[in-house]
Structure 1
Amino acid sequence: MRLSRTLIAAIGLGATAPALAADNPLSVHVLDIQSGQPSPGIEVQLEKRTESGWESLATGITADSGRISALYPDDRDFTAGVYRVTFETGDWFAEHDTRTFFPEIPVPFEVTDPSQHYHIPLLLSPYGYSTYRGS
């Protein structure tokens, strides 16, 4: 029986089923560099830039591993263009009784080859962050 990526993400298996997520072209991972631990429970929004502005494509929540292994929607073709993932970090920090300077972190990126996998890691602390193209 094959589970859909949506069902896998909903029940939290995304981080433990990398082979199933391999079909999805986009993943994210958030690590709290202050504690050295993954950051579960962060909402991540995915959008694509169009001629009329940003189009919302998907929203996910990081799993216990701090990952969303399959963020791109199953029912859409992955095409070249400019995308943006926005990490909603303010609520996560508030839940951990920590003040932050960054209530959200938007990360725009360009897809030039839709046949590749795109991974966006976020290294997070209350007053700084870093990101890069992962694998």
Structure 2
Amino acid sequence: MSTAADASVPSVSTHILDTSAGRPAAGVAVHVSARPGRDADWRSLGGSSTDADGRCKDLPALPEGTTHVRLDFAVEPYFTDKQAEAQQDAPANRDSGPGVFFPEVAITFAVAPGEHYHVPLLLNPFGYSVYRGS
């Protein structure tokens, strides 16, 4: 049930699509941190993992006064497991070294009270893209 206080707190959701496989990325750990100002310290809020649809449906709620959010995606285990299962199209090694070029992805963004922020991550072994979704 929503309360008047809830209307002043921003909310966040995310999902991950593996563009190299053309499907959702399941089992990726996502950690949420927040801070109440540009110069404030980050506060760890906890995390979740993506489901079979690549979505985190139970991310921790943001505290009142949050102005910045950081999502940390632990993508290395996801790609390491995929390579071990021989499901990954990209070769395990490239000139740049082991197959996981970006072992983690950290996305930091500003939020406003009462707004919802959906931040999809489009992922492949050698690149990623994010945007504010709907």
> Shorter-chain TM-score: what band?
0.7 to 0.9
SS at structure 2 position matched to 1:96: helix
Partner of 1:85: helix, strand, or coil?
strand
In structure 2, the residue matched to 1:108 is 108
What is the aligned partner in structure 2 of residue 120 from structure 1?
A: 119
Q: Which runs of 5+ in 1 are unaligned?
A: 3-23
Q: Does 1:69 align with 2:61?
A: no
**Residues paired across the two proteins, number:** 110
Alignment root-mean-square deviation, CA: 2.0
Q: Distance in 1 between matches of 2:108 and 2:116?
A: 16
Contact kept, 8 Å, 2:35 with 2:66, in 1: the verdict is no
Letter in 2 for 1:79: G
The unaligned stretches of length 5 or more in structure 2 are 2-9, 84-91, 93-98
Larger radius of gyration: 2
| Aligned partner letter, 2:14 | V
Runs of 4+ deviating beyond 6 Å: none
Could you state the TM-score of these two structures normalised by the residue count of structure 1? Answer: 0.73
- 1:55 paired residue number: 43
Give the structure 2 partner of residue 40 of structure 1: 26
In the aligned structure 1, how far is the partner of 2:125 from the partner of 2:66? 33
Separation in 2, partners of 1:69, 1:78 = 20
Q: 1:78 to 1:67 in 2, by over 3 A?
A: farther
Whole-angstrom CA distance in 2 between matches of 1:48 and 1:25: 11
Aligned residue identity for 2:53: S
